[in-house]
Amino acid sequence: MANNITLQVTRYRPEQDAEPTVQEYEVPLRKDWAVLDGLNYIKDHQDGTLSYRWSCRMGICGSCGMTVNGEPKLTCATFLTDYEPGPVRVEPLGNFPLIRDLVVEIGDFLRKLPKVKPWIVRGEDASVPEGEYLQTPAQMDEYMQFSMCINCMLCYAACPVYGLDPDFIGPAAIALAQRYNLDSRDKGAADRLEVLIHPDGIWGCTFVGECTRACPKDVDPAGAIQRYKLTAAMQSIKALLLPRGAR
Amino acid sequence: MSAPPAYTQYHPRWYRTPVRTLWWLRRRSYLLFILRELSSVFVAWFVVFLLLLVHAVSRGNNEYQRFLHWASNPWVLLVNVVALAFVALHAVTWFDLTPKAIVVRLRGKRVPSAWIAGSSYLAWAAVSALVTWLVLGG
């Protein structure tokens, strides 16, 4: 194993650069070092001006998403040794405006997310003496996979539809809507319907499937979207054929 | 003392990476996506072709023969071969999608994807066999 590996890191300093440039850094190549450790080494020992987001280092917080050798990745879960002998290209997440170096502007996602009401909607809460809302393991299984989403936005970076049409509500928002739609305790499916069946909702998706491949938590947003398309189509057929009371 | 830091303005200047015209050649899945989108044109072409056929049949044998003659033109044949390839791509990608959209549980366990896609292919084969029988043997 070589002692060092080269990181080719995107730099963008809006006060001086018209567009991003690439800067090379040599960092120690250690078996247990992820790309994020390499970036932290640069920040601590070589160049304190490098900007990037990170927090937990363990694939939970979803803040260190970047493009590594062209693929959207969590840099804390992407090991340098997998890219030996290098160089490793580290770029900001695609499809988002770039603020500085590797930091992208995520306001668009944060504005879209609450539109699908990603929380349990009850209408009227049960009183405390009535106890918890119970659920069987089978009922939990229905939505468990979608609840693994950590809002890292790798799926948005991987989705060409979002790249071409930024109004598309996007894979994670739809997967999270499904996470609550499929929850037996939730009564908010009707509230989410309008946002999801909007032309910028599920029908924007053309099933490229890259969101599912990019997802570091195996959420399968593409599956969530296709399932909801079927649900929405059935709703439309019911609305067309059945009298109001029977829907 | 070192020089004072160069403060940025409150609102940073965001850089938006332009989308290249040939972005869809970057990745196999993107290329497949564009080809699948394009396949809708050929699906439409087959509908037009079928309508022309029905129109010719409705106007008697002469018109039908003229249609057959036109349809055996090399360029029409070529267009139809290309269209068939695209329609096949359209159908295969559609059937491969079905396990994503349809979740069936049997005795509490999720039915494997291959079964759902497989049953779609079986249904396709059965309908095709029926149509072939109607056209050739019935």
Quick: pLDDT tens for A168-214: 999 999 999 999 999 999 999 989 998 999 999 999 998 888 999 99
Instruction: Choose which CATH entry (3.40.50.2020, 3.40.50.720, 3.10.20.30, 3.30.390.50) describes domain A4-104.
Output: 3.10.20.30
Residues of A with CB under 8 A from a CB of B: 12, 14-16, 19-20, 70, 94, 97-100, 105, 138, 160, 163-164, 206-210, 213, 220, 222-223, 226-227, 229-230
Q: Which pLDDT band holds residue B108 (cuts at 50, 70, 90)?
A: confident
> Burial level of B16, CB count in 10 A (0-12/13-18/19+)?
exposed
Q: Which residue in chain B is spatially nearest to A162 when comparing CA positions?
A: B19
For residue range A112-147, what is the model confidence (pLDDT) as tens digits? Answer: 999 999 999 998 888 889 888 999 998 999 999 999
How many Cα atoms occupy the beta-carbon half-sphere of B112 within 13 Å?
3
pTM of the model: 0.87
For residue range B18-77, what is the model confidence (pLDDT) as tens digits? Answer: 888 898 998 888 999 999 999 999 999 999 999 999 999 999 999 999 999 999 999 999
CA distance A224 to chain B (A): 8
CA dihedral B31, A82, A219, A228 (to 10 degrees): 0
What tokens appear for B76 in the block?
Answer: 């029409």
Which amino acid is present at A148? M
CB contact under 8 A, B37 and A20: no
Q: Is the confidence at residue B112, as pLDDT, over 60?
A: yes
CB contact under 8 A, B14 and A19: no
Domain boundaries, chain A: 4-104, 107-246
Taken in order of first residue, the domains within chain B and their CATH numbers are: 22-83 (1.20.1300.10)
A4-104 and A107-246 share one fold: no
**For testing the chain A interface, which of B8, B9, B10, B17 should be mutated: the one with the most A CBs within 10 Å?**
B17
Q: Which pLDDT band holds residue B6 (cuts at 50, 70, 90)?
A: low
- Give pLDDT, residue B11: 59
CB contact under 8 A, B16 and A100: no
Interface ipTM: 0.81
- Distance of alpha carbon B39 from alpha carbon B33, whole angstroms: 10
- Distance of alpha carbon A207 from alpha carbon A199, whole angstroms: 15
For residue range B71-104, what is the model confidence (pLDDT) as tens digits? Answer: 999 999 999 999 999 999 999 988 888 888 888 8
What Å distances lie between residue A96 and A76, A106, A154, A172, B17, CA to CA?
20, 7, 11, 15, 8
CATH class for the region spanning A107-246: mainly alpha
CB contact under 8 A, A98 and B33: no
